[in-house]
Amino acid sequence: MEAHGVAIRIEGVEQDFGAFPALRDVSLDIRPGELVALLGPSGSGKTTLLRVIAGLNTPDRGHVYFDDKDATALTVQERRVGFVFQNYALFKHMTVAENIAYGLKVRPLRSRPARRDIAARVEELLRFVQLDGLGGRYPAQLSGGQRQRVALARALAIEPRVLLLDEPFGALDARVRKDLRRWLRDVHKETGLTTVFVTHDQDEAMELADRVVVLNEGQIEQIGTPAELYDQPASPFVISFVGEAVALPVMIAAGHVKFGNRELHIDTHGLRSGPARVFFRPADIAVASSGQGELEGRVESLRRTPAGVRARIAIDGYDQTLEIDSPLEKAAAPGDRVPLTLANARIFPAREEDYIDAGEGI
Ligand SMILES: Nc1ncnc2c1ncn2[C@@H]1O[C@H](COP(=O)(O)OP(=O)(O)OP(=O)(O)O)[C@@H](O)[C@H]1O
């Protein structure tokens, strides 16, 4: 990638806490104006990576570049990053306006704007985050969502060149979260700021981000647009973490994919003969016309969902159940035996531990 097309470059970054490797060989380019999500389960290294980008953590190995300049040794202030944390770390004893003005007031005298200019900037930001008129309140007098908007205004006040958000909506209820997500997307559009946010919520990442970085055990599993992650997941971890998936242990032999003694009509994608796993989204498994299914199972239970029904099905020859989505009018009844067809399979080599499981049933 051309250097001028990169706002933040992370190169071979590693961070250890004692003997524990929290980040392992993380490399990533973030383009100017991009909205990037760091997504992963608890403990996967999201916050650690965000802190490395911010300059709050110094990596043990590797480099961070801002606009092509090595920023690894620069402080937070020197990097000019704006921060928003999960639990609205606002100063309780300061009014909303004072909170927003804080980053400007603590600047060294020579770069500090005049009082009048700070006041004007605060007013402008209050309007921008749709809190005009509330500058005199204290944080305790605001709702959670309002506080998070103040936190964002405070981060924007210093005119950062990068905005970093750590689970910014984590503590809010589902409805407010959703509203703020949309709002943040609008804010991003308007400011055009390079923005990196941490979330463990795949819906949040997929709805907001231009690109999503999936982290697992301190390593990047995949970087891609939401569509790429859904349609071309690079690993079993990604397909299972981004959206729902069911996995079936299969055996590849002579170019055929067998589940027990049934053949699944799936391309092997050039995988060698041996044990493998195929993954499906619940929406990609459908009840077939009788006699036409690749698999057969018994409906154990049904649950109504916004889009139709979700059926839990015990598959013949497999000691686990899988869940499928079907439209209301096609719903079977508990106890029914149903033939199933499969679409959009992803196939991956089995891990060692699957070899034994898969081998037994096949
Ligand atoms: N200062 C520290 N000292 C020791 N271990 C740490 C420190 N900070 C993080 N860790 C460990 O590093 C790993 C990654 O932590 P990190 O906070 O980056 O994960 P995360 O993906 O943000 O998780 P969560 O979603 O739970 O916040 C965890 O196992 C954590 O316990």
pLDDT of residue 87: 62
**Least confidently predicted of 41-45, 212-216, 239-243, 287-291:** 287-291
Q: Is the pLDDT of residue 32 over 80?
A: yes
The alpha-carbon radius of gyration of the chain (Å, integer) is: 25
* Centroid of ligand 1 to alpha carbon of 47 (angstroms): 7
The rounded Å distance from CA 217 to ligand 1 centre is 10
Q: Is the CB of 40 under 6 A from ligand 1?
A: yes
Q: What is the interface pTM, i.e. ipTM, of the complex?
A: 0.95
Q: What is the mean pLDDT of residues 150-155?
A: 92
Q: Does the CA dihedral 187-189-193-195 come out positive or negative?
A: positive
203 CA from centroid of ligand 1 (Å): 22
pLDDT band at residue 358 under the 50/70/90 scheme = very low
Residues 6+ apart with CB under 8 A from 265: 257, 294, 342
**What is the Å distance from ligand 1's center to 43 Cα?**
5
Per the CB < 8 A criterion, the answer to whether 257 and 310 are in contact is no
Q: Ligand 1 pocket check: which of 17, 24, 198 to mutate, most ligand atoms within 8 Å of Cβ? A: 17
Nearest CA to ligand 1 atom 28: 43
Q: Which numbered atom of ligand 1 lies nearest the CA of 200?
A: 25
- Ligand 1 within 6 A of 42 CB? yes
Distance CA 7, CA 42 (A): 27
CA–CA distance from 332 to each of 78, 200, 281, 341, 342 (Å)?
Answer: 62, 34, 19, 15, 17
pLDDT for residue 88 is more than 60: no
> What is the best residue among 42, 85, 164 to mutate for testing ligand 1's pocket, by most ligand atoms within 8 Å of CB?
42
For 1-34, letters b (16+ CB in 10 Å) and e give: eeeeebbbbbbebbbeeeeebbbbebebbbeeeb
Give the whole-angstrom CA distance, residue 281 versus residue 112: 55
Question: Distance (Å, rounded) from C-alpha 41 to C-alpha 47?
Answer: 11
Average pLDDT (283-294) is 82
Confidence tier at 4 by pLDDT (50, 70, 90): low
Q: Supply the residue whose CA is at minimum distance from atom 12 of ligand 1.
A: 22
What pLDDT is attached to residue 286?
85
- pLDDT, average across residues 281-293: 83
289 C-alpha to ligand 1 centroid (Å): 50
Q: Is 51 in the pocket of ligand 1 (CB under 6 A)?
A: no
* pLDDT higher than 90, residue 100: yes
Whether the pLDDT of residue 230 is over 80: the answer is yes
Instruction: State the pairing for strand pair 194-199/35-39.
Output: parallel
The residue type of 228 is E
Distances (CA, A) of 175 to 148, 179, 182, 352: 14, 6, 11, 43
Question: Does residue 243 register a pLDDT over 90?
Answer: no
Among 9-13, 144-148, 308-312, 328-332, whose mean pLDDT is lowest?
Answer: 328-332
The sign of the torsion formed by the CA atoms of 141, 145, 167, 10 equals negative
Confidence band (pLDDT; 50, 70, 90) for 112? confident
Pocket of ligand 1, candidates 13, 15, 46, 53: which has the most ligand atoms within 8 Å of its Cβ, to mutate? 46
Q: What is the number of other CB atoms lying within 10 angstroms of the CB of residue 278? A: 20
* Atom 4 in ligand 1: residue holding the nearest Cα: 17
Going along the chain from its start, the domains and CATH numbers come out as 3-239 (3.40.50.300), 245-361 (2.40.50.140)
What's the mean pLDDT in 165-175? 83
Beta strand segments in the chain, E: 8-17, 20-30, 35-39, 61-66, 69-70, 81-84, 162-166, 194-199, 211-216, 219-224, 246-253, 256-259, 262-264, 274-280, 285-287, 295-304, 309-315, 321-326, 337-342, 346-349
